[in-house]
């Protein structure tokens, strides 16, 4: 091999190594970005207790035994301000000034009470959830459906209108 050919081979090898290093450097930020993707909100209707035990006498005690659990299964907190929980008839509860911490649950009671970070109250004097069949729909502050839970006739038990992912727990509807 001549000296001229040897220099050319070395130059080609240097170009190939440089190109490989550039491709690797360009790929590195892309894979690093994948690890930093924005977290997805994982908020769901985790349990519905639509039929308070005993007689439905519209007492505050009876109304507060009718409730819906909203669970944040993610690690990061979610601001539920202006999110809504609605029944099939359009009765709507709007969340105000509530941040649901990661891996925690808030219980939405039908009756009157003092709101805390674990329990909020719709302050109603009548039942919201139909014992025979109904659908609970959770929407975010943009009106996008986040989750649904249905039970009874005309309602498919489960989340998001998909049948078969839920079940009854006592007088309630649970999806775990």
- Measured distance CA(61)–CA(52) in Å, rounded: 9
- Looking at the chain, the number of H-run helices and the number of E-run strands are 2, 13
**For 83-94, how does the pLDDT look when each residue is reduced to its tens digit (9 = 90+)?**
999 999 999 999
pLDDT greater than 60 at residue 155: no
Higher pLDDT, 12 or 122: 122
For residue 137, count CB atoms less than 10 angstroms from its CB and return exposed for 0-12, middle for 13-18, buried for 19 or more. buried
Other beta carbons within 10 Å of 169: 13
Structure tokens at 85: 């929980």
Structure tokens at 111: 């009756």
Q: What is the pLDDT at residue 174?
A: 46
Phi (first) and psi of residue 31, to 5 degrees? -70, -35
**For 27-68, how does the pLDDT look when each residue is reduced to its tens digit (9 = 90+)?**
444 434 444 445 566 999 999 999 998 888 999 999 999 999
pTM strictly above 0.85: no
Higher pLDDT, 134 or 160: 134
DSSP symbols for 63-121:
HTTSEEEEEE-SSS-EE-TT-EEE-TT--EEE--S-EE-TTEEEEEESS-----SSEEE
């Amino acid at each position: 091999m001549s000296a001229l050919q040897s220099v050319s081979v070395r130059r080609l090898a240097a170009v190939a190594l440089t190109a490989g290093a550039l491709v690797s450097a360009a790929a590195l930020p892309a894979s690093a970005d994948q690890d930093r993707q924005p977290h997805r909100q994982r908020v769901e209707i985790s349990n519905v207790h639509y039929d308070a035990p005993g007689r439905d006498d519209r007492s505050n005690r009876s109304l507060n035994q009718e409730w819906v659990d909203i669970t944040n299964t993610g690690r990061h907190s979610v601001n539920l301000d202006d999110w809504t929980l609605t029944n099939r008839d359009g009765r709507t509860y709007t969340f105000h000034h509530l941040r649901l911490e990661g891996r925690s649950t808030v219980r939405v009671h039908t009756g009157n009470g003092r709101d805390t970070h674990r329990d909020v109250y719709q302050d109603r004097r009548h039942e919201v959830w139909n014992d025979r069949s109904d659908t609970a729909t959770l929407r975010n502050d943009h009106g996008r459906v986040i989750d649904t839970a249905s039970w009874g006739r005309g309602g498919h038990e489960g989340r998001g209108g998909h049948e078969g992912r839920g079940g009854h727990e006592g007088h309630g509807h649970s999806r775990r």
